[in-house]
């Protein structure tokens, strides 16, 4: 395990949606409020500008992503920068935007929505799968920590203000089976779970808002370790690199003082873990 280094000093207002793109050998992430998608290949950084808030993506093909925005899901061609709309996502609501999201092992894509001001219960969690967008959970305030057991048997998610990461069993097609259960209660420590990702062993790595860290938990919920980061508002991790041993973590500058020069930066460090290759989304 190495100390975190700055991958990008770009000051994202609200960094989110960390993703490794194996075909391009690059990390991708979003600045939700800056309406931008960023890419860094370890040497150079580039970005794409959008006309609306964008927050999370899933891999479709070598040059195409499924991207979630404040009003829709769309396909985005990284080479031509062209968009192709898939479906509306709360397009009739001026209050909400997309937030955390990730592809599941069955080829689906989970995406959460929330109020721009974090309005209580304004958001929801949805799943896109083979042409269908279905709402899974309603009255969510700040959906986060969407990730999956490596075998596709369970999904994890949280409503950040609750302080609890929940787990739900999935059927063979990736749809929830039964009711979610409390898997990890972070309330006694006063921690706020943000984005998360699982590694090849099923351990869950969780960015914790206002805690300046990413923490790792075993599949049974046991705390294993935490990695300190130089700014408090950590938001979303993703494994990447040739052997998937590097962990990238986004952060947010929103509300942070100018003296916190690391706020909104994107970090990377070597781990002794191995990530999982992100599944492709079936569109």
- Tokens read off for 66: 């499924």
- Tokens read off for 254: 């929103």
Predicted local distance difference test score (pLDDT) of residue 2: 81
- Backbone φ and ψ of 36, nearest 5°: -130, 150
- Tokens read off for 22: 């194996």
Residues contacting 19, CB < 8 A, separation 6+? 27, 28, 29, 56, 57, 58, 59, 238, 278
User: Catalytic amino acids?
Assistant: 194
- Tokens read off for 215: 């923490």
Q: What is the side-by-side order of every strand in the sheet holding 109-115?
A: 96-103, 109-115, 123-129, 132-140
Task: Give me the domains of the chain, ranges plus CATH numbers.
Answer: 5-270 (2.120.10.30)
Give pLDDT tens digits for 218-273: 999 999 999 999 999 999 999 999 999 999 999 999 999 999 999 999 999 999 99
Give pLDDT tens digits for 35-80: 999 999 999 999 999 999 999 999 999 999 999 999 999 999 999 9
């Amino acid at each position: 395990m190495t100390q975190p280094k700055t991958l990008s000093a770009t000051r994202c207002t609200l960094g989110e949606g960390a993703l490794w793109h194996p075909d391009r050998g690059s990390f991708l992430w979003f600045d939700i409020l800056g309406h931008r998608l960023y890419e860094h290949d370890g040497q150079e950084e580039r970005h794409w500008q959008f006309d609306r808030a964008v927050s999370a993506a899933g891999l479709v093909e070598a040059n195409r992503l499924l991207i979630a925005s404040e009003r829709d899901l769309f396909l985005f061609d990284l080479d031509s920068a062209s968009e192709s709309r898939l479906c509306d996502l709360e397009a009739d609501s001026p209050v909400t935007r997309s937030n955390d999201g990730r592809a599941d092992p069955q080829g689906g894509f989970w995406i959460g929505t929330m109020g721009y001001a974090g309005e209580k219960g304004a958001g929801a969690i949805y799943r896109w799968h083979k042409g269908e967008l279905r709402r899974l959970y309603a009255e969510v305030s700040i959906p986060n920590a969407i990730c999956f057991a490596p075998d596709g048997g369970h999904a994890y998610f949280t409503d950040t203000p609750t302080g609890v990461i929940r787990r739900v069993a999935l059927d063979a097609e990736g749809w929830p089976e039964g009711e979610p259960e409390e898997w990890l209660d972070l309330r006694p420590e006063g921690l706020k779970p943000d984005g998360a990702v699982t590694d090849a062993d099923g351990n869950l790595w969780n960015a914790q808002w206002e805690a300046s860290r990413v923490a790792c938990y075993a599949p049974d919920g046991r705390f294993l370790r935490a990695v300190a980061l130089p700014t408090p508002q950590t938001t979303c991790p993703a494994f990447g690199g040739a052997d998937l041993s590097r962990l990238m973590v986004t952060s947010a500058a929103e509300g942070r003082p100018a003296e916190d020069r690391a706020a909104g930066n994107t970090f990377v460090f070597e781990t002794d873990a191995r990530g999982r290759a992100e599944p492709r989304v079936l569109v």
